[in-house]
Structure 1
């Protein structure tokens, strides 16, 4: 199926809602820093507010995603977006408020729409035929990277060129528009009733290796974004190159997501694809740490970006295979929280390492962490596959029987 066949009215409406709901999320960390930077200790306060916002996302995504009703998801999505709009509007209207008040508003803005990306992803896959799911999710990836590429420039431009409160007010308005746009989308998606005795928490825990791989992938993204300016200074390269180099990474990611969707099935299992791609991205980031030339760093970053988006797509498709439709929104929300946690942990680690080691060494330490997380996720998934292939009563029988005794095959 070609991308042109995705140009239907429901998918276009979904795209409009996605842009208006995700652009504020992408702008938020930088926007809150600019909001308070002119206050005493403004940059420190801004960093804390950004951390509180991300913490709200990490906590809110799984908590709200697990409570989402597949058949009636739209009211829940609208409520989350409305809460986020109120949080952003409050920050924009009260920039001089006490830090505790600003922290509460930032937390509210993070928690409210945290489960929306997961819910919208499941809604998108319900709008297209099964054979077009890979293309639809590839299109979502391209759109997401485009949003994240434009968000920092938009937040900084409005804050510096107009007023620091304007980005927050715009973000609140965009979320309010997305609430209205939800009326153009279905109320929910079809999902089989949850099996008797099956726990949502247990189903989600079954997919933990995929979440670990997701955290590993975002560890690399954090390294590329947060340590690159310090690395350029170490190499004697103008720090102004950081923006164009990171833009190249984002453009490469958008291109990689598009190419991945051109083909319906790639060699190997989705788990193997994700593992290999994450390790390949890690190799590219490691090259960034050791290469001394600007052009070589640019090539390594673009190559890493080309593989970053396909690795994420493979993980999302693998999650779709593991979880039943009734748990997909919760699963994507947990994945969203895992990505945020991976980014936060890597950023904290990089900040601590930069105080005692060179930036290139900090990047290599982060790459080692990524490889360890990737290995843990891959081994965990292999074990889950083996357990799924052998029913529990057969496992018990084989443990007590002799190796030569035949084991009767049990139908599932």
Structure 2
């Protein structure tokens, strides 16, 4: 296994399309706040629009992902990205419009391209040799973490130094460019629906619910690190200016972790790897809430980032293991929605707790929720049954544990 297997023209073209598709997602929450902050109640309106955007992602990812057909994926992805470009363009061009109009545009911008992440991941896995899929997944993670590191800085500079609505227009242009770039990629990939044994897609996807739960648990730790950090710095008497470098360190650690994870095959089953990594991230985030000084915060955030990357990768690799190939794209989309929901719930919980408790206590409460979700998910995770006819397992379908990863999404 080597990253050299990824150094091909199709994969590099895929990477450019992925940047065009994912950079707007990384820009959106901050961009919408900057766009309306000078209006009366601007910050409140910005927060509402950002929430509507995320709601669009959560709704759109499973609905559109389950309708994506592998053999003709390109037109589906193109329509989604084109819809996203229209949504972002409407936000930028009609930035002074009524909040209801802006909300509708934000929802479309979030929902229309929400299945793109899963579709592009499945396409990448089909483009590389089987032995290199783990490296492809790690490379995708490094690319996404890099985008999420750069996008906030670009958004801030454009909004504050040029025009507040310019990041939205840039996002629209990037998605439109991704639509054009899709025609340099394969039209789709092969997926035999017989591997589901005649089961409806919804039932097959439901069987993997514990994997979605642990995916949400992993991203909730990222939400804690990002959303509560400024308040924690104030509690510690540290300058708020440390928030940017500390979160950049977290992202850099995540990129490094994704690279290291793809270098070799690690010992233990994916389920065990995921549990160990989630516990390690939880411990690091808990220590962030307890240690004094920016130096210790930086150390534990970087280590948390390294472990977080591995935790997210194992979640998606396990999803590939327990779902049949024909259900993977829809499974990735459902995971995308679960991750978004986990981020939103943790952020909301933390915001509510900050009204009554110290930031360090809010972080520890979030870590407790994460551990609870982790235990529930790991104890109920499906396993493969190699004796099942046609490779269809009682918990999914047999397949090599070789694929996956939000954004964060999430990536962020």
TM class, shorter-length:
over 0.9
User: Which residue does the alignment assign to 1:149?
Assistant: 149
Residue 95 of structure 2 is aligned to residue 95 of structure 1: yes
Q: Aligned partners of 2:35, 2:246: CA distance in 1, in Å?
A: 26
The residue number in structure 2 matching 1:198 is 199
Distance of aligned partners of 1:368 and 1:390 in 2 relative to their CA distance in 1, 3 Å threshold: farther
Q: CA offsets, 1:319-364, max 9 Å, x none? A: 1111111111100000000000000000000000000000000000
Deviation at 1:385, TM superposition (A): 2.7
> Which residue in the other structure is 1:65 paired with?
65
> Are residue 54 (structure 1) and residue 48 (structure 2) matched?
no
Distance 1:72 1:229, change over 3 A: same
Alignment partners' CA distance in 1, 2:128 and 2:388: 34
- CA distance in structure 1 between the partners assigned to 2:317 and 2:182 by the alignment: 24
Counterpart residue number, 2:255: 254
Matches within 5 A, 1:10-409: 10-194=10-194, 195-263=196-264, 265-381=265-381, 384-385=382-383, 388=385
- Secondary structure of 1:176's aligned partner: helix
* More displaced 10-residue stretch of structure 1: 267-276 or 128-137: 267-276
| CA deviation profile, 1:136-170 (whole Å, cap 9, x unmatched) | 00000000000001111111110001001110011
| Counterpart Cα distance in 1 of 2:131 and 2:253 | 26
Corresponding residue number in structure 2 for 1:408: none
> Equivalent residue of 1:355, what SS?
coil
What do the CA deviations read for 1:353-378 (whole angstroms, capped 9, x no partner)?
00000000000000000000000000
1:400 corresponding residue in structure 2 = none
Q: Distance in 2 between matches of 1:161 and 1:318?
A: 44
Quick check: 2:145–2:251 contact (8 Å CA) kept in 1? Answer: yes
Q: CA deviation at 1:391?
A: 7.6
Distance 1:178 1:391, change over 3 A: closer
Q: TM-score when scaled to structure 1?
A: 0.93
Distance (Å, rounded) in 2 between the aligned partners of 1:243 and 1:56: 27
Post-superposition offset of 1:5: 2.1
Distance 1:45 1:144 in 2: 28
Q: How many residues align?
A: 388
Equivalent-residue separation in structure 2 for 1:53 and 1:120 (angstroms): 21
Superposition deviation, residue 196 in structure 1: 5.0
CA distance in 2, matches of 1:267, 1:46: 45
Check whether the contact 2:5–2:128 (CA below 8 A) recurs between aligned residues. Answer: no
Unaligned runs of 5+ in 1: 393-412
Give the Cα separation in 1 of the matches to 2:3 and 2:299: 28
User: For each residue in 1:190-227, what CA deviation from the matched residue of structure 2 results, as whole angstroms up to 9, or x when unmatched?
Assistant: 11124453110011011111100100011100000000
Structure 1 residue 89: Cα displacement: 0.3
Q: 1-side partners of 2:387 and 2:272: how far apart?
A: 21
Alpha-carbon deviation of 1:2? 1.5
Higher radius of gyration, 1 or 2: 1
Whole-angstrom distance in 1 between the partners of 2:183 and 2:300: 43
Query: How much is the aligned-residue C-alpha RMSD, in angstroms?
Result: 1.3
CA shift at 1:233, angstroms?
Answer: 0.5
Partner of 1:164: helix, strand, or coil?
Answer: coil
Following superposition, the deviation at residue 109 of structure 1 comes to 0.3
Is the CA contact (8 Å cut-off) linking 2:322 and 2:383 kept in structure 1?
no
